[in-house]
């Protein structure tokens, strides 16, 4: 890769540009440009068609957001106190509120000896908040009721939740350690709340009618309607983990009501949040899954009825699946980061390490109507095996129905439309290696080796061509100096030299271009797999393959570096430096370097710094892959150099050329 970049750099230098102005080469670059333009136009055309199908969508203006300050604690006047009720199984801790009869918390237990069925792992943010902000690491956050009876009432009252041990899937209230204020989440942003244009609907106080180990029933009345909400646990079933059943019955006026997903907590992926909104719709008996552009305010579509909605933070999230007919349409709403705070805002907030303005949330909503409606709710990790298990559970072979929840997985990447097919193939290999090693880090290394083996012919062809180019570089320089006043003669002589030595300047680049989809697919795969989240390689250093490695940390953040030292990108830079030294040394083992070789070495030194900076904040899984790939590349380059014949010294070549002239 480095050699190719150096070659392209030399392509634009004064000494090389004359040769590449040859008409045939111009035709090649023109054809390549037209091909790329055609690809771009094709995908642009496909995108336009998709947008045309959504032409009935109407943009709605969201309420004007307050100034970017933390919301003041909410004050409830003439209303009962907010009380909380907990249902729990091996996969979820569900915390309900009497406000809205909705979920104020969805907490997922960490994988441990106590919770072996869970697949959610503890990461650095969890440990940091538990250690430094323990008031926000209680699960549930407030005193709560559980099924049963005690001396004071029909339900058991618990004074405080457990310290740590859970991942908060929802953004929830935050207790500021400095001001001692509690920044409340408005009930309108609770999960599975019923909302409308009238704020009082979201804050409607419900009465608990029934409460046992598997089910809780809420009921609320208004002058013109009565609402009953029944939540049932099915997530303790191994065939349907992280799943809830919800029945809503509306007696009376059901117009203008929406069921909201809630706002997922932020996952920090490759240097920032990575929210994703999707929906599935069936057209002409064919189901299609669409990704929704993140709205700037709010967006409402009423042209068709979605099969389900998906609201994800990149690794975990919600699926709202209506099992009975509801009104057509859906709604997506942007929630400013200062309106519903992320827990990341707590971490070193005095230094603004994680800016609230950069962490907006999003809600997805389904329209409701009068009558009885059933919903299936998934709230958990978007892990491949989990989603496949649920799809298999709820599929119907007789009708061909498949919920296809697996398509809710988010694939992160700028070039996903190119790299995703390659990444799916690599994912199969990664899973196969994991079944052998039971270590995702070693699986990445084995996958890198497999990728190198598969692409060995292309790599060898590219390496040989570039080494030959380096070997004849002194002769090319001599010709350019000799005929610098006669460009046409210079082009002819250089072309003759390439032909005599069997060198094609483009043969070193084209194989690398062919490899790029695999390489990009590998990058996108490693930052999109939930299974890598929290996966440890070397405890105390590489504790999370989906996040940068941390050798040590400090309090005050430094520009760009932050407050953590990442060693892997530094090692990558060192290996890259050694690789470019090996590359430049191979072309002129004896004597002084030519100007072209000096250029190559200078460019290599620059690229070492550039790549170390580029990879400083990427997940450690990516750095392990790239580091392994470069070490294997150096080994292949060394082997290729040994297999090539020893080049004729440049001085001898110069004399023979002089005699020929």
HEC profile of 563-631 = EEECCHHHHHHHHHHHHHHHHHHHHCCCCCCCHHHHHHHHHHHHHHHHHHHHCCCCCHHHHHHHHHHHH
Between CA 313 and CA 169 the distance in angstroms is 9
The answer to whether residues 331 and 456 belong to one domain is: no
Q: Taking the chain, what is the end-to-end CA distance rounded to the nearest angstrom?
A: 37
Check: CB of residue 213 under 8 Å from CB of residue 147: yes
Domain membership of residue 34 (yes or no) is no
- Encode burial over 204-228: b for 16+ CB neighbours within 10 A, e otherwise: bbbebeebeeeebbbbbeeeebebb
CATH number of residue 337's parent domain? 2.70.98
HSE value, Cβ hemisphere, 13 Å, CA-based, for 220:
19
Q: Comparing C-alpha atoms, which of 258, 268, 262 is closest to residue 244? A: 262
Q: CA quadruple 14, 16, 19, 23: dihedral positive or negative? A: negative
Q: Comparing C-alpha atoms, which of 544, 529, 265 is closest to residue 412? A: 529
The answer to whether residues 238 and 307 belong to one domain is: yes
Check: CB of residue 420 under 8 Å from CB of residue 599: no
E strand or H helix at 174:
strand 174-175
DSSP per-residue letters across 473-516? HHHHHHHHHHTTT-HHHHHHHHHHHHHHHT--TTTTTHHHHHHH
The answer to whether residues 154 and 261 belong to one domain is: yes
The answer to whether residues 523 and 401 belong to one domain is: no
Quote the radius of gyration of the chain (alpha carbons, Å). Answer: 30
Q: Please identify, among 391, 408, 425, the residue that sits at the C-terminal boundary of a domain.
A: 408
Domain membership of residue 123 (yes or no) is yes
Check: CB of residue 496 under 8 Å from CB of residue 503: no
The answer to whether residues 452 and 387 belong to one domain is: no
Chunk the chain into consecutive blocks of 10 residues (it has 661) and report each block's average pLDDT, rounded to whole numbers.
45 40 43 46 42 39 36 55 96 97 98 93 95 95 92 87 97 85 94 96 96 96 96 82 97 96 94 93 91 94 93 96 95 96 91 91 97 97 95 93 94 68 85 94 94 82 75 82 87 87 69 69 83 94 94 87 92 89 60 63 82 89 91 85 61 43 43
The answer to whether residues 121 and 254 belong to one domain is: yes
Domain membership of residue 36 (yes or no) is no
For 406-461, how does the pLDDT look when each residue is reduced to its tens digit (9 = 90+)? 999 987 766 666 677 778 888 889 999 999 999 999 999 999 999 888 888 877 77
The answer to whether residues 426 and 365 belong to one domain is: no
Task: Provide the pLDDT for residue 422.
Answer: 78
Between CA 205 and CA 185 the distance in angstroms is 16
Q: What are phi and psi of 418, to 5 degrees?
A: -95, -45
Q: Comparing C-alpha atoms, which of 548, 519, 514, 526 is closest to residue 427? A: 526
Three-state DSSP state, 97:
strand
The answer to whether residues 137 and 99 belong to one domain is: yes
The answer to whether residues 431 and 401 belong to one domain is: no
Q: What are phi and psi of 260, to 5 degrees?
A: -100, 145
Range of the domain at 611: 2-26+416-645
Please list, in sequence order, all residues whose beta carbon lies within 8 angstroms of the beta carbon of residue 413, skipping any fewer than 6 positions away.
419, 420, 423, 520, 523, 524, 527, 528
Please list, in sequence order, all residues whose beta carbon lies within 8 angstroms of the beta carbon of residue 505, skipping any fewer than 6 positions away.
7, 20, 469, 498
Domain membership of residue 64 (yes or no) is no
Q: Please identify, among 380, 408, 436, the residue that sits at the C-terminal boundary of a domain.
A: 408
Q: What are phi and psi of 114, to 5 degrees?
A: -75, -30
CA 110 to chain CA mean position, Å: 21
Q: Please identify, among 359, 376, 408, the residue that sits at the C-terminal boundary of a domain.
A: 408
Task: Provide the pLDDT for residue 551.
Answer: 94
Q: Structurally, how many domains does the chain consist of?
A: 2
Between CA 32 and CA 516 the distance in angstroms is 15
Check: CB of residue 198 under 8 Å from CB of residue 255: no
From residue 604, alpha-carbon distances to 354, 581, 600, 645 in Å are 34, 8, 6, 25
The answer to whether residues 475 and 599 belong to one domain is: yes
Give the residues across from 166 on adjacent strands.
109
Domain membership of residue 503 (yes or no) is yes
182-183/174-175 β-pairing: antiparallel
Task: Provide the pLDDT for residue 48.
Answer: 37
Between CA 337 and CA 171 the distance in angstroms is 10
Q: pTM for the whole thing?
A: 0.81
Burial of 300 (0-12, 13-18, 19+ CB in 10 A): middle
Domain membership of residue 72 (yes or no) is no
316-322/286-292 β-pairing: unpaired
Domain membership of residue 450 (yes or no) is yes
Check: CB of residue 19 under 8 Å from CB of residue 521: no
The answer to whether residues 222 and 263 belong to one domain is: yes
The answer to whether residues 383 and 497 belong to one domain is: no
The region, left, alpha or beta by phi > 0 then psi within -120 to 50, assigned to residue 389 is alpha
Domain membership of residue 232 (yes or no) is yes
């Amino acid at each position: 890769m480095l050699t190719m970049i150096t070659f392209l750099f030399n392509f634009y230098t004064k000494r090389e540009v004359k040769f590449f102005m040859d008409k045939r080469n111009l035709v090649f670059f023109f054809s390549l440009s037209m091909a790329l333009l055609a690809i771009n136009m094709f995908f642009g055309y496909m995108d336009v068609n998709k947008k045309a199908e959504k032409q009935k969508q109407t943009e709605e203006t969201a309420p004007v957001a307050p100034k970017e300050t933390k919301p003041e604690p909410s004050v409830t006047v003439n209303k009962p106190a907010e009380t909380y009720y907990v249902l729990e199984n091996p996969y979820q801790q569900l915390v309900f509120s009497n406000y809205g009869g909705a979920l104020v918390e969805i907490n997922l237990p960490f994988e441990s000896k106590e919770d072996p069925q869970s697949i959610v792992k503890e990461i650095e943010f969890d440990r940091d908040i538990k250690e430094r902000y323990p008031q926000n690491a209680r699960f549930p956050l407030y005193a709560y009721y559980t099924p049963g009876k005690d001396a004071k009432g029909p339900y058991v009252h618990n004074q405080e939740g457990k310290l740590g041990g859970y991942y908060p899937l929802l953004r929830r209230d935050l207790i500021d350690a400095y001001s001692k204020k509690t920044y409340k989440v408005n009930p309108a942003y609770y999960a599975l709340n019923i909302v409308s244009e009238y704020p009082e609907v979201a804050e409607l106080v419900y009465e608990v009618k029934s409460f046992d180990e598997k089910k809780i029933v809420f009921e609320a009345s208004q002058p013109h309607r009565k609402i009953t909400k029944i939540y049932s646990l099915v997530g303790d079933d191994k065939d349907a983990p992280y799943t809830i059943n919800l029945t809503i019955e509306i007696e009376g006026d059901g117009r203008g009501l929406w069921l909201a997903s809630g706002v997922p907590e932020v996952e920090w992926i490759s240097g920032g949040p990575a929210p994703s909104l999707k929906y599935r719709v069936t057209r002409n008996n064919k189901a299609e899954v669409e990704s929704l552009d993140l709205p700037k305010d709010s967006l409402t579509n009423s042209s068709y009825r979605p099969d389900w909605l998906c609201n994800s933070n990149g690794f975990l999230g919600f699926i709202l699946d209506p099992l009975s007919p509801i009104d057509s349409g859906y709604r997506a709403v942007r929630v400013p980061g200062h309106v519903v705070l992320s827990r990341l805002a707590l971490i070193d907030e005095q230094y603004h390490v994680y800016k609230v303005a950069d962490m907006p949330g999003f809600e997805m909503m389904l329209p409701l109507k009068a009558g009885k409606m059933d919903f299936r709710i998934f709230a958990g990790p978007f892990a491949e095996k989990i989603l496949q298990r649920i799809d298999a559970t709820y599929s119907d072979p007789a009708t061909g129905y498949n919920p296809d929840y697996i398509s809710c997985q988010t694939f992160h990447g700028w070039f996903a439309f190119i790299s995703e097919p390659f990444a799916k193939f690599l994912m199969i290999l990664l899973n196969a290696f994991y079944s052998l090693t039971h270590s995702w880090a070693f699986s990445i290394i084995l996958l890198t080796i497999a990728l190198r083996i598969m692409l060995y012919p292309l790599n060898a062809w590219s390496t040989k061509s570039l080494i030959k180019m380096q070997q004849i570089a002194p002769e090319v320089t001599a010709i350019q100096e000799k005929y610098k006043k006669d460009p046409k003669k210079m082009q002819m002589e250089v072309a003759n030299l390439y032909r005599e030595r069997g060198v094609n300047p483009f043969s070193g680049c084209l194989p690398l271009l062919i490899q790029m989809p695999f390489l990009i697919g590998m990058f996108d795969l490693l930052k999109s797999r939930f299974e890598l989240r929290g996966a440890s390689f070397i405890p105390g250093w590489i504790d999370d393959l989906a996040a940068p490695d941390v050798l040590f940390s400090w309090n005050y953040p430094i520009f760009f570096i932050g407050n953590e030292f990442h060693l892997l990108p530094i090692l990558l830079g060192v290996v890259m430096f050694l690789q470019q030294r090996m590359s430049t040394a191979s072309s002129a083992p004896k004597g002084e370097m030519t100007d072209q070789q000096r250029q190559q070495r200078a460019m290599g030194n620059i690229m070492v710094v550039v790549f170390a900076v580029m990879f400083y904040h990427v997940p450690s899984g990516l750095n392990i892959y790239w580091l392994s790939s470069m070490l294997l590349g150096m080994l292949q380059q060394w082997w290729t150099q040994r297999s090539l014949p020893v080049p004729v010294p440049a001085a001898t070549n110069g004399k023979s050329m002089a005699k020929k002239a």
